[in-house]
């Protein structure tokens, strides 16, 4: 069967047949009277009057050619070839700039798409989120159907991200080293306002102080918005679980039969959409400010406070760029024309081909990429899916039947404001129209009441300086002042009769809460543990403690792991029983004479245990998540086989992380308490796998650990970059979060005793 015309076009233009047909459809539609009118209106609305008119001028300008496109710019080459081919096909000039604008317009408005007749892609076992995002979108651009909504995966991501955000904001108030590390890192990518430079000329040192304050305000804004999005998403998925809505079909029936689930879903999706909007700006600032890429970007802020990031054409022209460099320049900043999934795909492919390319991005860049990718993955899972397409159609009809006041009353969690008379301008993220715009209004109202001057770290009564020698009492006083001003601002927005609503959704601390985290409270807790340990040691001298018994077993480990030393939960349990049975099944060989005439020593021969074959076949196991136990065990006893394979690696890693501060075993001497030290990330992942956790790698540095228990919440960490080594500060933070989330202490992990140790 001969190839279709679009298959030929796809080969000529270095793209798929489906994408070639879509671009042809877009060019034809945008050159009709209706299409041209809609295109021009969308361009002005999307980019603003000045920039929109400039983009239209470039699109309509005659092509002056020849166009010089570097071969490393794969996307630019594709658009140049496609524009040339479409010009011949339509017998009307279509420039590359015009075609880019056409594609952006029809993509955002879901127009002109050919039928999707290929099967939907499925995520592979152990596939990272970055690889999955790239492969998923490559399949979609080839005409594949959208993958169906995975409710379980979305819930895991939402709950783990919400916990990560809460843990981080707690750690900022209890660990000054962590506080300084976070803000110093963010300070590097801050784009100061013009007046800050002017003040620095008059008052040297002002720039450093002001950008440090800006780093706190930037972190606070990101934290509030991310907590807003993930809190509503996590609450939504918890409600699905309570109502036993476990399939897309059941969820569709629920929101069509009852308006309450519909408005809850819409509220959560628009909140997550708002976080993606902010995360985009954060990612742009961080990546354009990295040491490697900063030389190619111009980063300024207008007098109105807007950040403007553009690449420098002259500097770019003098440089030899590879494909990853070109992708970064085309993706980030105001000149960016590529979608972020191009960057994810390019980053994954380049770092696999050239591992050293990963060092072009710092730890903060990987963190920004990871946080964005997780939110983008969850949003796409819900929005770009068969379920999501049906929900979008239903949402459009529901919004059309309700007035703006009715929509705001359903989506709003703040008291009504008569000043809100007009909606903000629709943006790229306004996928739900009026609902998305109302979500943006809620965030804007919070930013308005959040006192700017009262969120300054300097010039306060605490005599704050940019160093780590601030006294705990002064630091606690500083954070208390900041929390009090935030709480007061949020309280002014609370609906009547619902105090604390806004603060809860934005993740704020009540300044009057006696349990509010602080450095002083943490230090007092450490002293109390040390006092209890000392008293227990003295008591232990009088009477030896009885040996503890272990009754729980490690739950079933999630399959598909490539680590040969991994032991699943039921294998671990079977091995424990086999050890007991082996003592009665052991046989003694009689003494026999060797060739040298000497008597051979007694040898113990154990009958082979069934667990050996199970361990070898672990990669082919399938586990029903519903078969997992409800809770994690109270104690993990590391099998003898593990201890031998890793040289007590498991206990050493956990001891370094937990560091003795959370040790409830009182019979250890000071000499037995492990020393503080760095921890290799690969060792941490390995031991977490060995006790049954599955690991979900995402784009950037974000890694989610899913516990082998139905009611235990997953936990997310950021892998350190560029060297995958946890420093003392990071290891302390990881250990603190593990202890807080699962109640783990050093005594939670023990090694089997026996002849094989």
Crossing angle of helices 206-242 and 363-383, in 10° steps, is 30
Domain count, the chain: 4
What CA–CA distance (Å, rounded) separates 477 from 487?
15
List the structure tokens of 699.
Answer: 């784009």
H or E element at residue 550? none
Tell me if 594 is assigned to some domain.
no
Q: Report pLDDT for 624.
A: 63
What CA–CA distance (Å, rounded) separates 373 from 276?
9
Q: Report pLDDT for 288.
A: 93
Select from 602, 550, 477, 476 the least CA-distant residue to 750. 550
Tell me if 59 is assigned to some domain.
yes
Cα within 13 Å of Cα(706), Cβ side:
19
Tell me if 138 is assigned to some domain.
no
408 and 276 fall within a common domain: yes
Q: Report pLDDT for 289.
A: 92
- The answer to whether 267 touches 232, Cβ cutoff 8 Å, is yes
Nearest 10 degrees: CA dihedral of 630, 632, 637, 640?
70
- The answer to whether 650 touches 643, Cβ cutoff 8 Å, is yes
204 and 174 fall within a common domain: yes
Backbone Cα Rg of the chain: 30
202 and 338 fall within a common domain: no
68 and 152 fall within a common domain: no
Domain limit, last residue, from 355, 370, 398:
355
336 and 408 fall within a common domain: no
Beta bridge partners of 593: 599
What CA–CA distance (Å, rounded) separates 311 from 332?
9
Tell me if 502 is assigned to some domain.
yes
- The answer to whether 338 touches 93, Cβ cutoff 8 Å, is no
Q: Which residues contact 74 (CB under 8 A, 6 or more apart)?
A: 14, 323, 326
What CA–CA distance (Å, rounded) separates 658 from 175?
15
What CA–CA distance (Å, rounded) separates 149 from 388?
8
Tell me if 561 is assigned to some domain.
no
- The answer to whether 589 touches 605, Cβ cutoff 8 Å, is yes
267 and 403 fall within a common domain: yes
Tell me if 548 is assigned to some domain.
no
Task: Give me the DSSP letters along 434-491.
Answer: HHHHHHHHHHHHHHHHS-SGGG-SSSSTT---SSTT--HHHHHHHHHHHHHHHHHHHH
323 and 395 fall within a common domain: no
Residue with tokens 């964005």: 372
104 and 209 fall within a common domain: no
pLDDT in tens, 102-132: 998 998 787 899 999 999 998 887 777 667 7
- Structural domain for 303, as ranges: 291-355
Residue with tokens 């076949």: 617
Beta bridge partners of 703: 697, 717
479 and 419 fall within a common domain: yes
pTM above 0.75, yes or no: yes
- What long-range pairs does 89-93 form, CB within 8 A, spacing at least 24? 89/24, 90/27, 90/28, 90/31, 92/31, 93/62, 93/63
Q: Report pLDDT for 647.
A: 44
216 and 326 fall within a common domain: no
Tell me if 559 is assigned to some domain.
no
Q: Report pLDDT for 209.
A: 86
Compute CA distances 163 → 39, 447, 753, whole Å: 42, 23, 36
723 and 578 fall within a common domain: yes
Q: Report pLDDT for 531.
A: 81
What CA–CA distance (Å, rounded) separates 159 from 479?
26
- The answer to whether 671 touches 723, Cβ cutoff 8 Å, is no
Q: Which residues of the chain have pLDDT under 50?
A: 547-622, 640-647, 660-675, 755-757
344 and 371 fall within a common domain: no
Tell me if 522 is assigned to some domain.
no
Burial of 331 (0-12, 13-18, 19+ CB in 10 A): buried
């Amino acid at each position: 069967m001969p190839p279709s015309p679009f298959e030929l076009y796809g080969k000529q233009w270095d793209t798929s047949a489906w994408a070639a047909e879509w671009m042809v459809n877009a060019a034809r539609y945008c050159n009709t009277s209706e299409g041209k009118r809609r295109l021009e209106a969308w361009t002005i609305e999307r980019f603003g009057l000045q920039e929109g008119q400039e983009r239209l001028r470039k699109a309509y300008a005659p092509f002056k050619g020849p166009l010089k496109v570097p071969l490393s710019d794969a996307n630019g080459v594709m658009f140049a070839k496609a524009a040339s081919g479409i010009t011949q096909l339509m017998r009307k000039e279509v420039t590359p700039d015009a075609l880019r604008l056409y594609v952006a317009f029809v993509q955002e408005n879901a127009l002109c798409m050919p039928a999707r007749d290929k099967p939907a892609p499925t995520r592979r076992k152990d596939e990272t989120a970055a690889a999955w995002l790239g492969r998923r979108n490559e399949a979609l651009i080839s005409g594949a159907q959208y993958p169906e909504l995975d409710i379980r995966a979305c819930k895991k991501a939402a709950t783990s991200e919400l916990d990560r955000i809460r843990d981080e904001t707690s750690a900022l108030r209890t660990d000054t080293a962590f506080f300084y590390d976070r803000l110093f890192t963010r300070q590097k990518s801050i784009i100061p306002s013009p007046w800050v430079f002017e003040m620095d000329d008059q008052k040297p040192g002002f720039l450093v102080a002001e950008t440090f304050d800006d780093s706190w305000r930037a972190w606070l804004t990101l934290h509030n918005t991310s907590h807003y999005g993930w809190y509503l998403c996590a609450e939504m998925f918890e409600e699905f679980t309570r109502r036993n809505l476990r399939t897309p079909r059941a969820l569709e029936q629920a929101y069509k039969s009852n308006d309450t689930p519909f408005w809850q879903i819409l509220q959560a999706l628009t909140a997550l959409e708002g976080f993606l909007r902010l995360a985009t700006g954060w990612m742009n600032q961080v990546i354009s400010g990295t040491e490697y890429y900063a030389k190619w970007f111009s980063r300024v802020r207008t007098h109105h406070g807007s950040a403007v990031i553009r690449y420098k054409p002259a500097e770019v022209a003098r440089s030899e760029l590879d494909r990853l460099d070109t992708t970064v320049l085309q993706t980030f900043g105001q000149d960016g024309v590529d979608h972020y999934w191009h960057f994810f795909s390019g980053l994954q492919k380049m770092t696999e081909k050239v591992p050293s390319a990963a060092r072009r991005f710092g730890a903060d860049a990987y963190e920004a990429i990871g946080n964005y990718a997780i939110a983008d993955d969850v949003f796409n899972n819900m929005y770009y899916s068969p379920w999501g397409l049906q929900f979008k159609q239903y949402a459009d009809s529901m919004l059309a039947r309700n007035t703006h006041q009715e929509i705001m009353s359903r989506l709003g969690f703040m008291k009504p404001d008569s000043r809100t008379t007009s909606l903000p301008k629709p943006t790229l993220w306004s996928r739900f129209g009026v609902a998305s715009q109302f979500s943006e209004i809620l965030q804007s109202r919070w930013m308005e009441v959040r006192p700017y001057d009262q969120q300054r770290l300097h010039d306060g009564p605490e005599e704050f300086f940019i160093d780590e020698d601030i006294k705990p009492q002064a630091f606690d006083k500083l954070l208390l002042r900041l929390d009090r001003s935030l709480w007061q601002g949020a309280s002014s927005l609370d609906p009547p009769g619902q105090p604390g609503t806004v603060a809860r959704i934005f993740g704020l601390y009540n300044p009057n809460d006696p349990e509010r985290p602080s450095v002083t409270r943490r230090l007092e807790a450490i002293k109390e543990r040390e006092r209890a340990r000392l008293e227990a040691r003295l008591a232990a001298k009088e009477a030896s403690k009885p040996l503890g018994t272990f009754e729980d077993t490690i739950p079933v480990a999630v399959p598909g792991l490539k680590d040969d030393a991994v032991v699943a939960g039921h294998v671990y349990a079977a091995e424990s029983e086999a050890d007991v049975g082996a003592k009665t099944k052991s046989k003694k060989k009689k003494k026999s004479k060797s060739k040298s005439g000497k008597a051979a020593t007694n040898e113990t021969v154990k009958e082979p245990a069934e667990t050996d074959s199970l361990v070898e076949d672990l990669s082919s196991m399938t586990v029903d998540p519903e078969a997992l136990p409800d809770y994690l065990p109270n104690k993990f006893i590391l099998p003898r086989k593990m201890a031998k394979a890793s040289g007590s690696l498991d206990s050493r890693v956990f001891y370094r992380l937990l560091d003795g501060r959370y040790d409830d075993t009182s019979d250890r001497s000071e000499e037995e308490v492990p020393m503080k030290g760095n921890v290799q990330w690969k060792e941490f992942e390995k031991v977490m796998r060995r006790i049954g956790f599955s690991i979900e790698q995402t784009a950037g540095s974000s890694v989610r650990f899913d516990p082998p228990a139905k009611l235990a919440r997953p936990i997310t960490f950021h892998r350190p970059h560029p060297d995958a080594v946890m420093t003392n500060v990071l290891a302390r933070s990881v250990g603190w979060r593990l202890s807080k989330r699962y109640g783990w202490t050093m005594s939670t992990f023990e090694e089997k005793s026996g002849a094989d140790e």
